[in-house]
Amino acid sequence: MTSSRTGTRTGTVSAADAGSWSLDGLTVHRMGFGAMRLTGSAAFHEGVPSDRGQALAVLRRALELGVNHIDTAAFYFSRLRSANELINSALAPYPDDLVVATKVGPARDASGEWAVSARPDQLRGQVEENLRQLGRDHLDLVNLRVMSQPDVSEHFGALAELREAGLVRRLGISNARLEHLDQARAIAPVVCVQNPFGIGAPSGARAVLDACAAHGIAFVPFFSVAGRGRESGAVARTEHDEVLAVARAHGVSPAQVRLAWILHQGPHVLAIPGTGDPDHLVDNVAAGALRLDEDELRLLDRIGGEQA
């Protein structure tokens, strides 16, 4: 296995190497792109975002590398950057095969402070804000971000009405438990679930991944490269020896091993790593071509509890 840097020089890096999945008729490569980090850190209004020109270049480069699934949200903004505005500026008019997925539910005021979660009757306004920022007349896919509510039926029902009205084409849920998935599926088709998941995730986190596989639903993990603490700006932990050993064997980075492991969890798993760095982007996409053998997968599977 050659390193991602070698692949870059020979021009062989492509998101298509990760394989594809159909989101209710929309075929996407399983290696996508998350736009959150273009605005700064995972804390949204903290940290220093990348240079605007570089952020635009990263988005355009992602498409050149075959990425056709971008994850974003209107609440992905910092004091200087809005993820949706960057996507609009860089990519509009949008290619026909590009799927832009967004999220609704959480609410932030103009200063970036979190407000209470949106009521069901406020979700239309959030959908319309995403439409305006992205310059679209409909949204390909909207995920309901579950906050603290034990029952999502009313919220998901409100989105189902927007789907019927044509503002939204497909629906998913994010940060969801099994009961949330069941509640949503009883109202309208669910095409994806976005949950935190990666090497070292608690054993219970796999239940939703397995349920998605059983129902033919895409599972889209976030916090999959570094884990919850490191993604949110906490002091970086020392990398696991098992991850380092596999990385050395393939001549790749630990982050690429983590992404490859994610993709090995099932053909329905879609990765959405984010970055504002052009080199990291290429490395992330290159991870889609990294094949781990059974011994390596068992070694990595033994890591436990990182995200507990």
Q: Which domains does the chain have, with CATH numbers?
A: 4-298 (3.20.20.100)
| Dist CA 96 CA 98 (whole Å) | 6
Task: Tell me whether residue 94 is one of the annotated catalytic residues.
Answer: no
Helices 83-91, 52-64: inter-axial angle, 10-degree rounding = 60
The pLDDT tens digits for 206-238 are 999 999 999 999 999 998 886 544 443 334 568
Q: Give the pTM.
A: 0.91
Predicted pLDDT of residue 1: 34
Q: Which of 76, 197, 222, 223 is catalytic?
A: 76
**237 phi and psi, to 5 degrees?**
-80, 160
Give the H or E element holding residue 72.
none
* Average pLDDT per consecutive 10 residues, the chain (308 residues; last block may be shorter): 37 92 98 93 51 95 98 92 96 97 90 82 97 98 94 98 98 97 98 96 92 98 70 58 97 97 98 95 98 97 68
**171 phi and psi, to 5 degrees?**
-125, 150
